[in-house]
């Protein structure tokens, strides 16, 4: 039986949570194994393709060394379907009370997406203190996160959106950033070529980032 996770468990496991888009369920297991071998265990499989739930289910069943999560949760139904497929955490591009309540009722940690102070306050009212800052670069980047350290000093963020190997360290150096989300360690061309060795190398590099 899997031990219950918290949002902090998800955020503190590694400096980077990969944002994964899969087109073929056959890629799910070898991709997850490559990431886990590189030290990246918390895997956000986005619900952006028709096969996403099947991919989550395969990872959950066949790759015990990884933790399957679901990204792009936009409704209570998304959260329920993801949990049924075996997702152990959720990530949303924004925040609504119905999504927050669904994940709470399911016992599934959620990193809700926020881009404004009002959205942070709404998520906090519902008990969420670990949040996804999205889209990070477009919504103000590192300067915005620095500005939020005063009024929202207790909140920890996972900035996602425009993060890459060249700027991840800048975000990770901030006191209120626990980890970052990014797709650079799971490039579409590497997945298409089934270049799992490259993905494992990118995962090792991401795991080594300091925060």
Q: Write the pLDDT tens digit of every residue in 90-123.
A: 999 999 999 999 999 999 999 999 999 999 999 9
Q: Which of 54, 65, 101, 132 is catalytic?
A: 132
As a whole number of angstroms, the distance between CA 51 and CA 1 comes to 26
Q: Which of 44, 62, 119, 170 is catalytic?
A: 44
* 136-139 contacts, C-beta under 8 A, 24 or more apart: 136/160, 136/161, 136/162, 136/163, 136/171, 136/180, 137/161, 137/162, 137/163, 138/162, 139/115
Could you please state the CATH topology (level 3) that the domain comprising 7-207 is classified under. TIM Barrel (3.20.20)
Q: What pTM does this model have?
A: 0.97
Residue 146 annotated to the active site? no
Residue 61 annotated to the active site? no
Give pLDDT, residue 122: 97
Q: Are 163 and 136 in contact (CB under 8 A)?
A: yes
Give pLDDT, residue 1: 58
- Extract the tokens encoding 210: 């300091």
Give pLDDT, residue 4: 86
């Amino acid at each position: 039986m899997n031990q219950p996770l918290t949002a902090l468990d998800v955020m503190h496991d590694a400096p980077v949570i990969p944002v994964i888009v899969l087109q073929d369920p056959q890629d799910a297991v070898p991709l997850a194994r490559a990431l886990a071998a590189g030290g990246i265990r918390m895997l956000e499989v986005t619900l952006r393709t028709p096969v996403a739930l099947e991919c989550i289910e395969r990872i959950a069943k066949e790759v015990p060394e990884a933790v399957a999560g679901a990204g792009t949760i936009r409704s209570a139904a998304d959260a329920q379907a993801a949990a049924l497929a075996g997702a152990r955490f959720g990530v949303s591009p924004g925040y609504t009370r119905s999504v927050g309540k669904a994940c709470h009722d399911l016992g599934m940690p959620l990193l809700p997406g926020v881009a404004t102070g009002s959205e942070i306050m709404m998520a906090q009212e519902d008990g969420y203190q670990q949040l996804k800052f999205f889209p990070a670069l477009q919504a103000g980047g590192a300067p915005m996160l620095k500005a939020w350290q005063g009024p929202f000093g207790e909140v920890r963020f996972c900035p996602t959106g425009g993060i890459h190997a060249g700027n991840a360290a800048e975000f990770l150096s901030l006191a209120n950033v626990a980890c970052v989300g990014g797709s650079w360690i799971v490039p579409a061309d590497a997945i298409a070529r089934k270049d799992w060795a490259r993905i494992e190398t990118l995962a090792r590099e991401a795991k080594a980032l300091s925060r």
